[in-house]
Amino acid sequence: MKHARKALGLLAVTAIAATLVFGCAAQQKSPKQLMMASDWKFHDIVDVDFVQKYATVPQPEGVMIIDTRPYKPKYSKGHIPTAVNIPDTQFDKFKDKLPEDKNSLLIYYCGGYT
């Protein structure tokens, strides 16, 4: 009985660990998959590795990185190279900075949850 409980406990811990490691790992989508997916709703969250491919000088064609933080004190203190500052509170005022090509990949970033 004691060994059965230990075995059951070990099995439960292993199952939880496997779920956390394998069940929570989301497969990243390529830019083309993001733009072509019919379920794309402008809310995909990407990781640093995804953004680093586009945060280069010169910036790849068809990509725009947008920093939505206020210019002062956030953007002026540091930002991703090539990022354009369009504060979320003034988006309508600066939307003319967006690319004319509607197929461009837009990568927005901010200061996190508020």
- 90 part of a folded domain: yes
Query: pLDDT truncated to tens, each residue of the chain (114 aa)?
Result: 555 555 444 444 444 544 444 444 445 556 555 555 555 455 678 888 989 999 999 989 999 999 999 988 889 899 998 999 999 888 899 989 999 998 999 999 988 654
- 28 part of a folded domain: no
**Domain, as residue range, for 100:** 45-109
- 22 part of a folded domain: no
> Which ranges constitute the DSSP H helices of the chain?
2-18, 31-36, 48-52, 76-77, 91-94
- 74 part of a folded domain: yes
> How far are the Cα atoms of 1, 6, 15, 30, 70 from residue 9, in angstroms, in the given order?
12, 5, 10, 40, 51
Give me the number of domains the chain comprises.
1
State pTM to two decimals: 0.59
